[in-house]
Chains A and B, each alone.
Chain A
Amino acid sequence: MKITINGKEVEAIEGQTVLQASIANGVYIPHLCYHEKVGAAGKCRACVVEIEGMRGLQTSCSVPVRDGMVVNTVSQSALNAQKLVIDLMLSSGTHDCLACEQNGNCELQDAAYFLGIERASVQYGEINREFDTTSEFVYVERNKCISCGRCVAACNTTVVNQVLDFGHRGHHTEIVFDTDKKMGESSCVQCGECSQICPVGAIVDKNARGKGRPWELKKVESVCPYCGVGCKLELHVDPRTNKIVKVRGVEDAPTNKGMLCVKGRYGFDFVGHPDRLTTPLIKENGQFREASWEEAVELVASKLTEVKDKYGADSIMGMASAKVTNEENYTFQKLIRTGIGTNNVDHCARL
Chain B
Amino acid sequence: MLEQKIMDRIQKLKDRYPRKESALMPALMLAQKANGNYLSEDDMNEIAKFVGVTSGKAYGVATYYTMYNTKKVGKYHIQIDTNIPATLMGAVKVLDFVKKELGINAGETTKDGLFTLDEVECLASCGTCPVIQVNDVYYENMTAEKTKALLDSLKKGVMPKPEEPVYFGGTECNVLLKNRRVKNSTSIEVYKKNGGYKALEKALTMEPAAILNEVKTSAIRGRGGAGFPAGVKWGFLAKGTGKPIYLVCNADEGEPGTFKDRQIMEYDPHLLIEGMIISAKAIGSKLGFIYIRGEFDWIADILDKAVEEAKADKKMGDFDIIVHRGAGAYVCGEETALIESIEGKRGQPRMKPPFPAVAGLYGCPTIVNNVETLASVPFIIEKGADEFKKFGYENNTGFKLFGVSGCVNKPGVYEYPMGIPFKKLLEAAGGPKGKLKAVIVGGLSVPILKADELEGLNMDYDACIKKGTMLGSGGVMVINEEFSIPEIAYRTIKFYAHESCGKCTPCKEGSYTIVKILGKLLKGQATQADLDNMVRIIGSVNEAGSTLCPTGQAFAMPIKAMYEKFNDEFKKLLK
Contacts and interface: CB of A to CB of B under 8 A. Distances in A.
Contacts of B497: 170-171
A119 to B, nearest CB: 13
Nearest to A152: B56
Interface stretch (A83-91, A279-287, A298-306, A330-338): A83-91
A92 B509 contact: yes
Contact of A156 (B54, B500, B505, B541): B54
B25 interface: no
Interface string A41-63: 11111101000000111110010
Interface string A147-173: 100000000100000111111111111
Contact of A44 (B504, B537, B541): B504
B543 A179 contact: no
A164 B54 CA distance: 9
Contact of B505 (A89, A165, A167, A187): A89
Contacts of A167: 59-60, 63-64
B540 interface: yes
A62 B545 CA distance: 12
A77 interface: yes
A178 B500 CA distance: 23
Contact of B56 (A147, A170, A178): A178
B55 A59 contact: no
Contacts of B544: 55-57
A54 B505 CA distance: 22
A170 B54 contact: no
B505 A124 contact: no
Given A84-B506, A170-B512, A171-B508, A165 B548 contact: no
Given A57-B545, A169-B63, A146 B505 contact: yes
Nearest to B547: A45
Given A42-B548, A89-B505, A169-B64, A81 B56 contact: no
Contacts of A171: 497, 500, 502, 508-509, 511-512
Chain B contact patch, size range: 35 or more
Contact of A88 (B346, B510, B517, B539): B510
A80 B60 CA distance: 32
A176 interface: yes
Contacts of A124: 512-513, 516-517
A170 B543 contact: no
B44 interface: yes
B178 interface: no
Contacts of B540: 77, 80-81, 84
Interface in B306-332: 329
Nearest to B348: A169
B143 to A, nearest CB: 33
B498 interface: yes
A169 B504 CA distance: 11
A170 B508 contact: yes
Given A56-B545, A124-B516, A169-B346, A81 B506 contact: yes
A251 interface: no
Contacts of A55: 544-545
B459 interface: no
B99 interface: no
A89 B509 contact: yes
B545 A43 contact: no
A45 B56 contact: no
B505 A46 contact: yes
A35 to B, nearest CB: 15
Nearest to A175: B56
A122 interface: yes
A111 to B, nearest CB: 12
Contacts of B500: 169-171
B533 A173 contact: no
Given A92-B509, A165-B56, A170 B501 contact: yes
A57 B546 contact: yes
Nearest to B500: A170
A84 B509 CA distance: 10
Which residue, of A171, A177, A180, has the highest number of chain B Cβ atoms within 10 A?
A171
A222 interface: no
A147 B502 contact: yes
B45 interface: yes
Contacts, number: 146
A69 interface: no
Nearest to B536: A84
A134 interface: no
A91 B509 contact: yes
B57 interface: yes
B508 A177 contact: no
A208 interface: no
A91 B45 CA distance: 35
A177 B56 contact: yes
B368 to A, nearest CB: 20
Which residue, of A124, A178, A179, has the highest number of chain B Cβ atoms within 10 A?
A179
Interface in B47-76: 54-60, 63-64
Interface in B492-548: 497-506, 508-513, 516-517, 533, 536-537, 539-541, 543-548
A164 B501 CA distance: 18
A41 B505 CA distance: 12
B41 interface: yes
Nearest to A57: B545
A122 B510 CA distance: 11
A168 B59 CA distance: 9
A176 B546 contact: no
Given A89-B509, A162-B54, A169 B502 contact: yes
B512 A84 contact: no
B513 A91 contact: yes
B505 A44 contact: yes
Contact of B533 (A77, A121, A187): A121
Contact of A168 (B57, B63, B503, B513): B63
Nearest to A40: B351
Given A88-B505, A170-B512, A48 B59 contact: no
Interface in B25-54: 41, 44-45, 54
Contacts of B547: 45
Contacts of A43: 503-505, 548
A125 B499 CA distance: 18
Contacts of B57: 165
A147 B505 CA distance: 8
Contacts of A168: 63-64, 502
A179 B41 contact: yes
Contact of A48 (B329, B351, B537, B546): B546
A180 B63 CA distance: 10
B294 to A, nearest CB: 15
A292 to B, nearest CB: 55
Nearest to A166: B60
A112 B64 CA distance: 30
Contacts of B55: 178-179, 187
Contacts of A77: 540, 543
Contacts of A42: 351, 504, 548
A176 to B, nearest CB: 6
Nearest to B530: A122
Interface string B373-411: 000000000000000000000000000000000000000
B543 A57 contact: yes
Given A45-B505, A81-B540, A179 B56 contact: yes
A81 B505 contact: no
Nearest to A173: B502
A45 B546 contact: yes
Contacts of A162: 54, 56
5 contacts: A165-B57, A169-B502, A170-B498, A171-B497, A173-B502
Task: Pick the 7 closest A-B CB pairs, nearest first.
Answer: A56-B544, A165-B56, A57-B545, A173-B502, A124-B516, A56-B545, A171-B512
Given A84-B540, A91-B513, A178-B59, 13 more contacts: A45-B506, A46-B505, A56-B545, A59-B545, A84-B510, A84-B536, A84-B541, A89-B505, A92-B513, A122-B533, A167-B59, A170-B498, A179-B41
